[in-house]
Structure 1
Amino acid sequence: MLAIYGTSGLMYRGPIEDLRRVLPTLQSARVRALSTPVDRPDVADSGHRVPAGRGDAREGAAPPVPRPAAVAVQAYGEVQHPAPQRHPLEHVRDVMAAQAVTVDESMTVADGWRRLAEQGVGQAPVLDAQGRLVGLFTRGQMLSPERLPRPEDSVLVWRSFLAQPLAAIMITPVPAVTPETPLRRLALALLVTGLPGLPVVSEAGALIGFVSRSDVLKAVVHDPPLDLWAG
């Protein structure tokens, strides 16, 4: 399920697959889709999997026989420190950051930039005075050549640019997903919008986290296994 929020509140709620059709009607000129083709977002997994270890073991080689003492030590360690239960990462809730860094729409561009730098993030959801999601402020959007003053412009022009409110340059309306959204559909939304991440909201529309492309990539290289074909 996908929701799109703007300065007027909730603007759309429905399937992520309808994002290509809905987004242009919301006149979100600041959101640009990537050129990656995604005509078959629901292509099923081929099912061809290589059994673990088959590619590494030499054909006909017998596995090493562990020593009794080593086996005993390993067994004792497993009893004292049992391995955590593993489960496939299938939904946004499995990879999202539960505490999102946010900015206020009343902040200046300079204040927003400073907050991103202090928190070490490249984007942050924008909230209004009532704490409602109204947009997304990204470092990449701010640094786009068509938005920045020219290098030869005066100091006053640059100061004016940094002093304007975030509301003037934030991406709005902005799509948001719920924690139960399958990761495959999240990936589709990121490709369609070209955004670096999406806010995560509850069914009631409250901001409860953020999920970025980096979160998905981290899941790819860490246990437990990532299942992009779930849902």
Structure 2
Amino acid sequence: MFAIYTPNGRSFSGPLEELYHVQKTQLSEQTRSFQELDEFSPLLKKGYSPAPKAIDAYNDAISKTETKELICHAYQIMTYPVAVIADSDPLTAVIKIFTQLAYQEFPIVNSQQQLVGSLSRQQLYEYLLKHGADVDKSSKAKSVADLFLNEHSKIYTAEPVTDIRRIAVLQVRNHLHTIPILENNGKVVGIISRTDIIKAVAIDPPLSLWC
């Protein structure tokens, strides 16, 4: 299950298919229905098929790791606990957070710890480069909400038990670097970046993502 959060709260909750219906996204005729996710078809190039023997050998290899739990869902690969930014934090505090921590994006929460948006390192750098010397003491004292959130702000989220393939599809189609993982009560319990998915694919077989 996925959701969209804005500074005013949750504006959508439902499966990926409904999310795209709400967005009125026109899917390509070449894109397989999300009801079939045996392979990551929207991202695969056509025209090559491995030999059946190679597929059999691969399946034999991964079947030997029976003691490891299959990686299927968000909660298995998400980063937690999550470092967050408060919507009331001043710009000076935000700059310090990005300086101290290497994450590329942080969820923004309000005083009730409810998600209201996100701030990426790129957004922060673009703001600082744009304003340059104009970032005076008054600007540095302004809150994250004042500087980076507005009525158009929105952030995509997923629940802990969400298929990783669907999260990957959402990230690619919407050019997202991270997706916060929220429980149904709106509490942020983790975050998934593209790096988390790549690590799961590269390091942690057996994997139920592409095979």
Q: What is the TM-score when the length of structure 2 is the normalising length?
A: 0.75
| Alpha carbons of structure 1 residues 164 and 21: separation in structure 2 relative to 1, 3 Å | farther
Q: Could you tell me which runs of 5 or more consecutive residues in structure 1 were left unpaired when the two chains were aligned.
A: 26-36, 55-82
Q: What is the TM-score when the length of structure 1 is the normalising length?
A: 0.69
1:169 matches 2:151: no
2:89 to 104, 107, 118: 107
Say whether the 8 Å CA contact 1:20–1:192 is kept in structure 2. no
Distance in 1 (CA, whole Å) between partners of 2:96 and 2:180 is 20
1:124 to 106, 114, 127: 106
Question: In the alignment, what sits opposite 1:44?
Answer: 38
1:185 matches 2:162: no
Distance in 1 (CA, whole Å) between partners of 2:95 and 2:206 is 35
Greater alpha carbon shift after TM alignment, 2-11 vs 109-118: 109-118
Listed as ranges, the matches of 1:1-231 within 5 Å are: 1-23=1-23, 39-40=31-32, 42-45=36-39, 49-52=55-58, 85-144=67-126, 147-150=127-130, 155=133, 157-159=134-136, 162-167=140-145, 168-170=147-149, 172-229=153-210
Distance in 1 (CA, whole Å) between partners of 2:112 and 2:77 is 27
Distance in 1 (CA, whole Å) between partners of 2:66 and 2:184 is 30
Q: Percent identity?
A: 26
Distance in 2 (CA, whole Å) between partners of 1:38 and 1:99 is 39
Local SS of the residue matching 1:5: strand
Deviation (angstroms), 1:17:
2.4
Deviation (angstroms), 1:53:
10
Task: Quote the RMSD (CA, aligned, Å).
Answer: 3.2
| Alpha carbons of structure 1 residues 162 and 188: separation in structure 2 relative to 1, 3 Å | farther
Distance in 1 (CA, whole Å) between partners of 2:72 and 2:103 is 24
Distance in 2 (CA, whole Å) between partners of 1:53 and 1:129 is 49
Letter in 1 for 2:8: S
Deviation (angstroms), 1:22:
2.9
Deviation (angstroms), 1:85:
2.6
Letter in 1 for 2:38: A
Structure with max Cα Rg: 1
Q: Alpha-carbon deviations, 1:98-145, whole Å to 9, x = none?
A: 21110100112332232133122111110101111111111122233x
| Alpha carbons of structure 1 residues 85 and 3: separation in structure 2 relative to 1, 3 Å | same
- Count of residues in correspondence between the two structures: 186
Letter in 2 for 1:39: T
Say whether the 8 Å CA contact 2:75–2:190 is kept in structure 1. no
Distance in 2 (CA, whole Å) between partners of 1:38 and 1:14 is 24
Q: Alpha-carbon deviations, 1:156-200, whole Å to 9, x = none?
A: x02355443211215832111011000011011112321211111
Letter in 2 for 1:158: V
Distance in 2 (CA, whole Å) between partners of 1:24 and 1:8 is 22
Q: Could you tell me which runs of 5 or more consecutive residues in structure 2 were left unpaired when the two chains were aligned.
A: 40-48
Letter in 1 for 2:22: V
